[in-house]
Structure 1
Amino acid sequence: MESQMACEGKGVSKHIWVIPFPACGHILPLVDLNHQLLLRGLKVTILVTPKNLCYLSPLLSLHSPSNVQTLVFPFPSQSSLPPGVEQMQDLPISFVPDIATALGKLYDPLFQWFQSHPSPPVAILSDTLLSSWTTKLACHLNIPNISFLPFNVRAVSSWFGKLNIMPSFYTEAYMASIQSWGLVFNSFKELEGENLDIIKEKFTRHDRVWAVGPLLPAKAGDRGLNERGGPSSIPPGQVMAWLDSCHVDKSVVYVGFGSQITLTKRQMKAVASALEDSGVRFIWAVKDPMKRVQDGDDDQSMIPQGFEDRVAGRGLVIKGWAPQVAILRHRAVGSNLSHCGWNSALEGILAGVLLLAWPMQADHFHITKLLADEFGVAIRVCKGLRSIPDSVKLARIFVDSTSMARPERVRAIKLQKTALNAIRKGGSSYQALDKLIEGLSSFNGNKIKENKIRSSIAEQERLHQLFIQVITSLHGNIEDEFKSLFQETQVATALDTVEQLVEEQHLNPLFSDKTNIMDVVHNLSTAKKAGIQYLIQTLVLPFPSHSSIPSGVENMQEVTISFVPDFAAA
């Protein structure tokens, strides 16, 4: 996959501006994508805040400073975030909008940086969760924005179809992603080709959707893989030495729930009991507790007292960061109890291990359905963020997962080969990466080849449909307001009366108690006039001022669709 394909316009490397979302599951795969861009002749500048700079270390050590640069800005203050927090590893998932909002405050300084740069970027490559403002920034700078989605395609296609019922933050972010010049997924065609087609045909209405995964880590070798995270209670070298001492292949169970999940005391006890009773060799990665940002479990990530002593010799408990990729790739590891986050799932697929699925939130449930039900390479263990597994059943699953005869293991090894073929030269992901590089290499300053960036007619129609979806989602509230106003002016009562009279007198010719219809017409006319006048006085108001909307603009015809959230806010 590490091709040295040159960019169009030899001698001039295209400069790409990368804006990641500060969460391990987002920033690390984007770093890996940048590694591929750099290998193929592009230059990148990566926006980062001080406490996230460490995640770029492997990339910076591999490439020349003339090709990869960092743009370090202080993390903007945000009242809803604990002091000093700069990334999602310290927070529950409910704080995603707060992190994105905080980074959006960098809009003006980023705009100024671009304007003053002697050789500014020709495109922005940003995380989908930041698209609500990065797409707008790109529009103002007259350069394209490419959206990177570190989720599985199946989940994204489902989310794109539910924009009108999703929380406003995600609606805005995903609408902006669809509006982006292109979408990049860390997946591969053989795994999610059908859902890729759905996104192209139903949402983007163009083919600039690339599945370029599974993305390989930016630094080859176990030593490089160990440098991707934070501090750990056990040095990576010691972990690998322990695995080397395990003489039976596929006999070790790895337990890890990623960088975002912490277990409660009861969940920890259930997992510990299952590991202890099963008798299997294991490595258990225990994430550090989250910041105390709200009332919750003060007992998160607590290892049962005496557990480590009782399992000494056949098990390792790693507190903090674990070199997960290196662990999964080791010959001794055969299965992985996982939350089925997308990065963990792809790492498991590439390692050919049997996945024991405990989906908890976000896209985990889509991933489990894909891997357990459709491809048969995973075994369902439990589900839910606060669910507690049966420790007796879990112990049996641990024992069974080390068996080489399980059909899920056979299928996992087959899927591993398919994934590796996808990223080899000529494979589907390799070719998709070629096409992505070709697209990025075609950008020339504020233009794409000969033409300024414009949506095709089909794209404009799709964006219009998305706009209608959002407006429709507001229709219920507007309709209720109108009903209330008409009731206040008695228009609704008059209309109901007319409807009743017409029905009675039309359907019953013998009806003798005829009502004077002219009286009703007069009353209705008076009520309608009063209602219309009331509505005019109520609804015809000056357009509210909004800092991000150009002065004097009152409708979407005068701006791009990225301003939809601003109009709604105004």
Structure 2
Amino acid sequence: MTESSGILVNTYESIESETLAALNEGKVLRKLPSVISIGPLAPCFFETSQQLQWLNDQATGSVLYVSFGSRTAMSREQIRELGDGLVRSGCRFLWAVKDKKVDIEDDEKLTEVLGEELLERVKKNGLAVKNWLNQEEILSHPAIGGFLSHCGWNSLSEALWNGVRVLAWPQHGDQKVNADLVERIGLGTWDKSWGWGDRETVVKAEDIAQTVSEIMGNDLLKLQALHIRDEARRAVGDDGSSTKSLAALIDTWKKFQVLP
């Protein structure tokens, strides 16, 4: 990496100016090439999913999207506490249920994972699915008003781009750092008492219900998320910080001598 002429990163100046400055001033790693922000990278869209049909029937900003990515699996006990909490919150929700890290092993039906009683309660004000979801399509839907997320960087970038409030529940890797960013820039909240990748601690339904209800009713966070969305889109606009950074990099490339 130190032998390259630059490093492109999927972020932008207004949310990580201090981090980018520290990297480029050699405060993190000596002899590090220029770190150039070119994000957020705009999502691309695919075919309309059947979940979109359910979202089309929901009120604007009324639905909490719940997903912990493709590599995070919860214990059966925690999944059921989460489901109970979502129901108790009284909020509408779309929930991607996952209890196995390896998709090929994740073959149990929703009734087996949630139990018939909880599944019936879920159906009254939410939709739970075990199949793959087009997250970009979901987060861009006007019915989505919040995102309960593990804070993987791709998920967080999609939330930024679409101006969706985030309830952070990091699990592993860089997600704790990303959850901290969520709070610092005002995109959402992070209840640290819920733990960090701790499979021995189970967050109870009562706590989940209260926290979900609070974030979905927080209009200030909603407005701040929309402001962050506008900043993100300006960054890749004609005169945006990421556009300028990429243009400067291209100018540098043009100066390289091409050997015959």
- Give the TM interval when normalised to the shorter protein: 0.7 to 0.9
Larger Rg: 1
Name which of 407, 426, 429 aligns with 2:239. Answer: 426
Instruction: Mark the CA change 1:357 to 1:210 in structure 2 (over 3 Å): closer, same or farther.
Output: same
Contact 1:288 1:319 in 2 (8 A): no
- Aligned ranges 1:53-452 → 2 under 5 Å: 177-202=1-26, 203=29, 205=31, 208-217=34-43, 219=44, 224-226=45-47, 236-246=48-58, 248-287=59-98, 289-291=100-102, 303-306=113-116, 307-372=118-183, 374-381=184-191, 382-385=194-197, 386=199, 387-405=201-219, 407-440=220-253, 442=254, 448-449=256-257
* Shift, 1:315, TM fit: 1.3
Aligned-pair Cα RMSD in Å? 2.6
Residues 204-237 of structure 1 show CA distances to partners (whole Å, capped at 9, x for unaligned) of 54763210011012x3xxxx345xxxxxxxxx53
Alpha-carbon distance in 2 for matches of 1:418, 1:260? 30
Alpha-carbon distance in 1 for matches of 2:30, 2:135? 35
Letter in 1 for 2:240: G
Query: Secondary structure, in 3 states, of the residue corresponding to 1:284?
Result: strand
Query: Secondary structure, in 3 states, of the residue corresponding to 1:336?
Result: strand
Alpha-carbon distance in 1 for matches of 2:167, 2:187? 9
Instruction: Mark the CA change 1:420 to 1:450 in structure 2 (over 3 Å): closer, same or farther.
Output: same
* Shift, 1:310, TM fit: 2.3
Residues 131-164 of structure 1 show CA distances to partners (whole Å, capped at 9, x for unaligned) of xxxxxxxxxxxxxxxxxxxxxxxxxxxxxxxxxx
Contact 2:2 2:33 in 1 (8 A): no
Query: Secondary structure, in 3 states, of the residue corresponding to 1:277?
Result: helix
Letter in 2 for 1:260: R
Letter in 2 for 1:423: V
Unaligned runs of 5+ in 1: 1-176, 227-235, 293-298, 452-570
Instruction: Mark the CA change 1:256 to 1:184 in structure 2 (over 3 Å): closer, same or farther.
Output: same
* Shift, 1:280, TM fit: 1.5
Alpha-carbon distance in 2 for matches of 1:259, 1:180? 31
Contact 2:149 2:155 in 1 (8 A): yes
Query: Secondary structure, in 3 states, of the residue corresponding to 1:326?
Result: helix
Instruction: Mark the CA change 1:345 to 1:358 in structure 2 (over 3 Å): closer, same or farther.
Output: same
Query: Secondary structure, in 3 states, of the residue corresponding to 1:416?
Result: helix
Contact 2:74 2:99 in 1 (8 A): no
Alpha-carbon distance in 2 for matches of 1:347, 1:244? 20
Instruction: Mark the CA change 1:249 to 1:180 in structure 2 (over 3 Å): closer, same or farther.
Output: same
Letter in 2 for 1:395: A
Residues 414-448 of structure 1 show CA distances to partners (whole Å, capped at 9, x for unaligned) of 111111110111100111222334445x38xxxx4
Residues 458-499 of structure 1 show CA distances to partners (whole Å, capped at 9, x for unaligned) of xxxxxxxxxxxxxxxxxxxxxxxxxxxxxxxxxxxxxxxxxx
Query: Secondary structure, in 3 states, of the residue corresponding to 1:179?
Result: coil
Query: Secondary structure, in 3 states, of the residue corresponding to 1:320?
Result: coil
Contact 2:146 2:167 in 1 (8 A): yes
Letter in 2 for 1:409: K
Letter in 2 for 1:212: I
* Shift, 1:356, TM fit: 0.3
Larger RCO (CA under 8 A, 6+ residues apart) = 2
Contact 1:179 1:204 in 2 (8 A): no
* Shift, 1:383, TM fit: 2.9
Letter in 1 for 2:53: A
Letter in 2 for 1:390: K
The match for 1:469 is none
- Aligned ranges 1:489-508 → 2 under 5 Å: none
Unaligned runs of 5+ in 2: none
Task: Provide TM-score, normalisation by structure 1.
Answer: 0.41
Residues 483-518 of structure 1 show CA distances to partners (whole Å, capped at 9, x for unaligned) of xxxxxxxxxxxxxxxxxxxxxxxxxxxxxxxxxxxx
Number of residues of Structure 1 aligned to a counterpart in Structure 2 = 248
Residues 341-391 of structure 1 show CA distances to partners (whole Å, capped at 9, x for unaligned) of 11111111111111001011111111111221x212221132311242221
Instruction: Mark the CA change 1:335 to 1:186 in structure 2 (over 3 Å): closer, same or farther.
Output: same
Alpha-carbon distance in 2 for matches of 1:212, 1:332? 29
